[in-house]
């Protein structure tokens, strides 16, 4: 029985299935969201979330038998143009904005293009853009080129553009993946404003804490099937993770005392003008040292200074007691350092190339035959070894690496660098865009590598990750190390209070 006092449905899906080449991406899924509701769509990568969004927005046609109602009207066929006209908008993780156009031009873009060309009226468009930002309670420089804005403000521009098209149902795909905690708090406040204005928001995020904070209900998908619809009140991150993965995830602190082990990495007084100031740290054999702090604290710049991507102004770096000063990443690899970048899409992998080519690209010299050509036999053996070692789920090694899920792509990046046989592994935000189940697998791999003697410096802005998975935690702020903590005696709440202060 329908509750007469409940807000009307913005979207109702029944018996939704979608098949690609005989494989069910979605199978008999029901889903609904009410007007003004913030509803989370949760599940591991590959569970069908993106497919569901693309069906609703007309990118994919559903299999026969599906029932789709949008704002109470039954839909027999949906095209992207039709979806936009009905007030449906998607804000994808890459935002799909124009970096060299102004804020006002980006917001008003959809009104400047259409079936019939029309003259651009900048004054009118600026006024309309300002009105939409005012509706959100935001103030931005309308004339500023988009590429001069931080990512949090670009998210606001993307939301404003959706509202410019009179969106009544907005899908938000991983909107906080690249934001600091304070920026995330600001964005969630904007989402609440949308909800108060009657806009339905479907929120997709791997950050379970913010899912439980912002959403009223959460729909969980697993392997293309509906697990269930649950109120977030009373739900815990642990329980939600179990619903998404179908298994009990460990929440045990993994820290060990490695103080008796020899130092692998020693950094003393390292400085980089305006980025890093007088940083000293040590990572020992078999130790996982977590480096956390807000985005902009200088963590990635510190890593780049260690591996030679940026030249430090002063300070020393020692590896196994020997001073090193790599001028580039190639020299760092030769010295025994591997670096997994936070941006696996542009820096970690060559997306159009195959899984096997990406795996061996950093160690081509190891798979050459007697005449200096790449040996197919050696290549296959190396790829097979690392795919098996890291449990990478693939179709065929010759498939493009872009065909893999985020978690499996990250494992390929690890395989690429571990093939260099490093003594120090630097992991920069290793779980960005990776779902909860794949995260657990990555951290099991990290712990196994540490137990085998590898020294690991793990950078993350997610405090829970470092507390649960590091042996020691360093807090960086303003380019300096401002605190060191033992996860066995410092809980997550205490660390978050200090990091986010």
C-alpha 153/C-alpha 155 separation (Å) is 5
User: Would you say residue 407 lies in a domain?
Assistant: yes
Where does a domain end: 184, 217, 245? 245
Number of domains composing the chain: 3
Residues 377 and 491 in one domain: no
Where does a domain end: 221, 245, 269? 245
Instruction: Give the pLDDT confidence of 140-193 residue by residue, as tens digits.
Output: 999 999 989 888 888 899 888 888 888 899 999 888 776 767 778 888 998 999
User: Would you say residue 1 lies in a domain?
Assistant: no
Residues 74 and 60 in one domain: yes
- Domain ranges, residue 322: 261-336+422-501
- The residues pairing with 24 across neighbouring beta strands, listed in sequence order, are 19
Residues 465 and 320 in one domain: yes
Residues 217 and 116 in one domain: yes
Residues 437 and 323 in one domain: yes
pLDDT score, position 1: 47
Where does a domain end: 175, 210, 245? 245
> Which strands sit side by side in the sheet containing 314-319, from one edge to the other?
276-284, 263-272, 314-319, 322-324
User: Would you say residue 301 lies in a domain?
Assistant: yes
User: Would you say residue 252 lies in a domain?
Assistant: no
Residues 54 and 175 in one domain: yes
DSSP for residue 230: E
pLDDT score, position 118: 57
User: Would you say residue 342 lies in a domain?
Assistant: no
Residues 146 and 45 in one domain: yes
Q: What is the 3-state secondary structure (H, E, C) of 287-345?
A: CEEEEECCCCCCHHHHHHHHHCCCCCCEEEEEECCEEECCCCHHHHHHHCEEEECCCHH
Instruction: Give the pLDDT confidence of 388-428 residue by residue, as tens digits.
Output: 877 778 888 889 888 887 667 878 888 888 888 899 999 98
Residue 321 has pLDDT above 90, yes or no: yes
Residues 80 and 154 in one domain: yes
Residues 66 and 170 in one domain: yes
Residues 140 and 196 in one domain: yes
User: Would you say residue 188 lies in a domain?
Assistant: yes
User: Would you say residue 467 lies in a domain?
Assistant: yes
Q: What are residue 477's phi and psi, to 5 degrees? A: -150, 135
In the structure, what pLDDT confidence band is assigned to residue 4 with cuts at 50, 70 and 90?
Answer: low
User: Would you say residue 239 lies in a domain?
Assistant: yes
Residues 174 and 281 in one domain: no
Residues 320 and 453 in one domain: yes
Specify the pTM: 0.67
Q: What is the CATH number of the domain that holds 478?
A: 3.40.50.300
């Amino acid at each position: 029985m329908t509750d007469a006092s409940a807000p009307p449905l913005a979207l109702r899906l029944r018996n939704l299935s979608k098949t690609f080449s005989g494989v069910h991406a979605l199978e008999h899924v029901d889903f609904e969201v009410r007007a003004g509701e913030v509803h989370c769509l949760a599940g591991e990568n590959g569970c069908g979330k993106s497919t569901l969004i693309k069906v609703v927005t007309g990118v994919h046609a559903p299999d026969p038998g599906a029932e789709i109602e949008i704002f109470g009207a039954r839909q027999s066929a949906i095209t992207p143009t039709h979806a936009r006209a009905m007030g449906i908008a998607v804000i994808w993780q890459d935002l799909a904005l124009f970096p060299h156009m102004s804020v006002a031009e980006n917001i008003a873009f959809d009104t400047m293009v259409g079936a019939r060309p029309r003259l651009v009226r900048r004054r009118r468009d600026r006024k309309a853009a300002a009105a939409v930002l005012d509706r959100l309670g935001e103030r931005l420089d309308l004339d500023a080129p988009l590429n001069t804005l931080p990512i949090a403000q670009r998210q606001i521009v993307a939301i404003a553009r959706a509202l410019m098209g009179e969106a009544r149902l907005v899908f938000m795909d991983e909107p906080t993946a690249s934001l600091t905690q304070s920026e995330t708090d600001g964005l969630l406040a904007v989402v609440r404003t949308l909800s108060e204005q009657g806009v339905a928001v479907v929120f997709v995020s791997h950050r379970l804490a913010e899912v439980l904070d912002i959403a009223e209900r959460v729909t969980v998908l697993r392997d293309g099937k509906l697990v269930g619809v649950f109120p977030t009140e009373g739900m815990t991150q642990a329980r939600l993770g179990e619903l998404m993965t179908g298994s009990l995830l460990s929440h045990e602190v993994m820290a060990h005392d490695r103080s008796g082990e020899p130092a692998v990495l020693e950094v003393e007084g390292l400085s980089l003008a305006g980025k890093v100031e007088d940083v000293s740290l040590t990572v020992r054999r078999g130790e996982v040292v977590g480096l956390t702090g807000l985005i902009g604290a200088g963590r990635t710049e510190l890593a780049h200074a260690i591996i030679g991507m940026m030249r430090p102004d002063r300070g020393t770096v020692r590896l196994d007691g020997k001073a090193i000063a790599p001028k580039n990443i190639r020299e760092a690899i030769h010295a025994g350092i591997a670096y997994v970048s936070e941006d696996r899409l542009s820096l970690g992998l060559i997306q159009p190339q195959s899984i096997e080519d990406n795996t061996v690209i950093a160690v081509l010299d190891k798979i050459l035959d007697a005449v200096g050509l790449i040996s197919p036999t050696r290549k296959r053996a190396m790829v097979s070894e690392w795919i098996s070692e890291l449990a990478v789920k693939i179709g065929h090694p010759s498939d493009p690496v872009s065909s893999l899920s985020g978690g499996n792509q990250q494992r390929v990046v690890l395989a690429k660098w571990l093939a260099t046989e490093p003594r120090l592994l630097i992991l920069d935000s290793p779980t960005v865009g990776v779902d909860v189940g794949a995260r657990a697998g990555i951290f099991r791999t990290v712990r196994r590598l540490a137990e085998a003697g590898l020294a690991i410096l793990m950078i993350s802005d997610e405090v829970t990750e470092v507390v649960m998975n590091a042996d020691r935690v360093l807090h960086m702020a303003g380019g300096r190390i401002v605190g060191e903590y033992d996860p066995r005696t410092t809980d997550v709440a205490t660390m978050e209070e200090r990091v986010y202060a």
